[in-house]
Amino acid sequence: MRTKLLASGALILVLAACYGSRASIPLQRALFAPQQPVRDSRYPAHWWTPVSKEGAPAWEILPQEAGPGEVILSKRNELGLLSNFAATPFTFKGKRYASLEGFWQMMKYPEGPEDPRAKFPGLEWKYSREQVAQLTSFDAKNAGTAAEENMKKMGITWVTFAGKRIEYRSQAPGEHYRLIVAATRAKVRQNLEVKKVLLATGDLILKPDHHQGANPPPAWRYYDILTQIRTELQKQKGN
């Protein structure tokens, strides 16, 4: 790498001498522009196609920001099928969900009229639990954000599944994490295109397409969960 940079610098000096300082400025910019890591030719090149940061949402990690051996699970291409937001319906424990995000966010909602969340005074639940289960993408996310405001008013940090209270933001892989892993596995296995895309990532390191902050809980690390499921599928395929 150092040899290449020295050679580039020497080339600039030669060209500058030939064409003058004004011509050397764009040459310097081109030669010393940040270089993209070499991408593995086994994988589709468009997974890393650079996207302009201008106009991109602040939450997004762009495809070209992947490091060596990494791929961003960008919603801008087919890797977006691996996102919790994707409209990839699946059945889990006898109920059908429109997306993994809908499954995730519906756990914040009351399970019925006797649920303490439904009986707490002064709260408005804009959706029913069943309605949230059929949402996708930002609709599901926004429904969950509204529910979290109610959780804060109640002073609770738990959600529920099948009548059981579950701690929501546990830093240890607890019941919530195990539910998310199981639901993700169901999504992948029941959607052939999702399974195909996941296997197509081979041995790439999967990375999120959005900023999560420092040390997110295990259930939030969907890219790690998908890596675990990918390994399971690869082993089955090899048998």
pLDDT tens profile 57-104: 999 999 999 999 999 999 999 999 999 999 999 999 999 999 999 999
Please state, in angstroms and rounded to a whole number, the distance separating the CA atoms of residues 140 and 84: 10
pLDDT tens profile 117-172: 999 999 999 999 999 999 999 999 999 999 999 999 999 999 999 999 999 999 99
Contact 110, 129 (CB under 8 A): yes
| Secondary structure (3-state) at 42 | coil
pLDDT tens profile 16-69: 454 454 545 554 554 454 566 788 889 999 999 999 999 999 999 999 999 999
Domain residue ranges in the chain: 1-35, 81-238
pLDDT at 38: 81
C-alpha 59 chain-centroid distance? 11
Considering the four listed CATH numbers 3.90.400, 1.10.357, 1.10.3470, 1.20.120, the one that applies to the domain covering 81-238 is 1.10.357
Give this prediction's pTM.
0.84
> Comparing C-alpha atoms, which of 143, 215, 217 is closest to residue 180?
217
> Comparing C-alpha atoms, which of 194, 182, 202, 181 is closest to residue 71?
202
> Comparing C-alpha atoms, which of 37, 40, 34 is closest to residue 5?
34
Please state, in angstroms and rounded to a whole number, the distance separating the CA atoms of residues 161 and 25: 62
Please state, in angstroms and rounded to a whole number, the distance separating the CA atoms of residues 156 and 1: 54
Long-range CB contact pairs, 134-137, < 8 A, 24+: 134/97, 134/98, 134/102, 135/98, 135/99, 135/101, 135/102, 135/105, 136/85, 136/86, 136/87, 136/98, 136/99, 136/101, 136/102, 137/85, 137/86, 137/87, 137/99, 137/101
